[in-house]
């Protein structure tokens, strides 16, 4: 299948590479030349622009940082035409960015008017899951469109959930990431408390992992350096899911909560803590670096 892949960050690049390894023809575009070179080295094609990438594509996949990037890409900015004008009728668009549900719905409506199918399919599983092809996809869209996408999603992930209509995938994702942000803060507090009392972080982490405090952070994403060989913490909090991206997702969760008058006090507190962590200069670091706020200086 001829696929256009737009957005080759820490998640997008390995996802595109997995599609190449599965035998698909992938023409990719990103503003970063090194990111494009990485995909090229694995057999993908580099496009000079997003418009060039979608020429002849049967499916378009995007993985971008935020709502404004997705809306700007597909609908254009300042009156300029967006990418939808360059995508052929009948093509399927899969947006795996984590953005506001309302933005997904806005783009989907414009796509439908242009004869283009659209689903939102944000992911969970981190960079490790993206590399291993074990991501979880949370999909919003029509049944038929999901079934068209499924053979490709299965090459990038192992769990595919149909959350509902367009936008539902985004809602599921922000609920998940709000919980993840809360869990990472709690896990960081517990480990920092144990270490301050003289405990070995590896021993304490294993005790909690196998006890009632067990969670995903302890299983595969420990925030303490050296506890897990492949964690972002052990890599100096690089190459993972940035603090500023977590802050963005927690902001989306709070906007959603306000829109439906839902109570999310821990989500609000988590957002405030990540905002303070970002302002302290840790925005580009992996979100697990929030443990630095709890450690004794």
Q: Which of 55, 173, 202, 296 is catalytic?
A: 173
User: Residue 92 has what DSSP assignment?
Assistant: E
* Closest by Cα among 282, 66, 264 to 188: 282
Report in angstroms the alpha-carbon separations of 152 from 10, 122, 157, 172, 274: 19, 14, 9, 21, 34
Phi first, then psi, for residue 120 (nearest 5°) are -95, 135
Dihedral (Cα; 52, 54, 58, 61), 10-degree rounding: 130
Q: Is 173 a catalytic residue?
A: yes
Neighbouring C-beta atoms of residue 274, cutoff 10 Å = 27
- Whether residue 2 contacts residue 25, with contact meaning beta carbons closer than 8 Å, is answered with yes
Tokens of 37: 């070179």
Count Cβ atoms below 10 Å from residue 109 Cβ, excluding itself.
12
* DSSP, residue by residue, 11-58: THHHHHHHHHHTT-EEEEE-S-HHHHHHHHHTT-EE-SSHHHHTTT-S
Query: Among all residues, which ones are annotated catalytic?
Result: 173
């Amino acid at each position: 299948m001829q696929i256009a892949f737009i957005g080759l960050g820490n998640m997008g690049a390995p996802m595109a590479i997995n599609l190449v390894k599965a035998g698909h023809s992938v023409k990719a575009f990103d503003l970063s030349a090194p990111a494009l070179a990485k995909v090229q080295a694995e057999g993908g094609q580099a496009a000079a622009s997003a418009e060039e990438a979608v020429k002849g594509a049967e499916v378009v996949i995007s993985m971008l940082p935020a709502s404004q990037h997705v809306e700007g890409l597909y609908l254009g900015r300042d009156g300029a035409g967006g990418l939808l004008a360059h995508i052929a009728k009948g093509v399927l668009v899969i947006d795996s960015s984590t953005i506001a549900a309302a933005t997904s719905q806005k783009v989907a409506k414009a796509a439908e008017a242009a004869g283009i199918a659209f689903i939102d399919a944000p992911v969970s599983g981190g960079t490790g899951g993206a590399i291993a092809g074990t991501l979880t996809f949370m999909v919003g869209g029509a049944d038929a469109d999901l079934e068209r996408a499924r053979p490709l999603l299965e090459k990038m992930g192992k769990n595919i959930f149909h959350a509902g209509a367009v936008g539902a995938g985004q809602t599921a994702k922000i609920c998940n990431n709000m919980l993840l942000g809360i869990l990472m803060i709690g896990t960081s507090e517990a480990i920092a408390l144990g270490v301050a009392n003289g405990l070995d972080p590896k021993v304490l982490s294993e005790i909690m992992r196998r006890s009632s405090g067990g969670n995903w952070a302890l299983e595969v994403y420990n925030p303490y350096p050296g506890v897990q060989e492949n964690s972002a913490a052990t890599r100096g909090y690089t190459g993972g899911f940035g603090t500023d991206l977590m802050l963005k997702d927690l902001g989306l969760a709070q906007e959603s909560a306000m829109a439906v008058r839902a109570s999310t006090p821990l989500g609000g507190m988590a957002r405030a803590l990540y905002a303070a962590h970002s302002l302290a200069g840790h925005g580009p670091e992996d979100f697990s670096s929030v443990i630095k706020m709890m450690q004794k200086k």
